Amino acid sequence: MVYEVRSSNELKDFISRHRIALIAFAPKNDNIWRYLEMLLRRFEQRAGYLISFAMADITTTASLLSSEQLRIARKSCLIQLYLDGECVFEQEGVFGNIETDLQVLRHGIKDVLKRRSIKTLF
């Protein structure tokens, strides 16, 4: 289940409660929100229990992003992977093709986790 984070505090709690958390930041009132929701659901089907997924509206969680990250998220989206509370992967924007975006995201995350000795099956 892709969780929708509604505040900065809720986002901090989500990250601290899950060993591996993938967060997508975007403006909720934009078409990119629905696309990201679909993308994360598809990725969640492959990743299973290993990664917890959430989406965060940049209007309610802007205080957790740097000005550069906020600019990127406003323009398109920002996807971050947290491992034990630390951001270990960041992707700026998407291509707009589900299969391409799934492949790019999967390879990037798989590589980062492999370097940290975490075995992935997706």
Tens digit of each residue's pLDDT (9 = 90 or more) over 15-27: 999 999 999 999 9
Q: Are 40 and 47 in contact (CB under 8 A)?
A: no
Whole-number percent of the chain with pLDDT over 70: 100
Domain membership of residue 122 (yes or no) is: no
Domain membership of residue 31 (yes or no) is: yes
Say which DSSP state 86 is in.
Answer: E
Sign of the C-alpha dihedral, residues 15, 16, 18, 20?
Answer: positive
Domain membership of residue 105 (yes or no) is: yes
- Count of domains for the chain: 1
- 122 pLDDT higher than 90: no
What's the Rg (C-alpha) of the chain? Answer: 13
Average pLDDT of span 87-103 = 97
**Phi then psi dihedrals of residue 96, to 5 deg:** 95, 5
Sign of the C-alpha dihedral, residues 74, 77, 83, 87?
Answer: negative
| Domain that residue 41 falls in | 3-115
User: Tens digit of pLDDT for each residue in 33-71?
Assistant: 999 999 999 999 988 789 999 999 999 998 999 999 999
Sign of the C-alpha dihedral, residues 17, 120, 102, 65?
Answer: positive
Domain membership of residue 9 (yes or no) is: yes
Q: Which residues contact 76 (CB under 8 A, 6 or more apart)?
A: 26, 32, 92, 93, 94
CATH code of 81's domain:
3.40.30.10
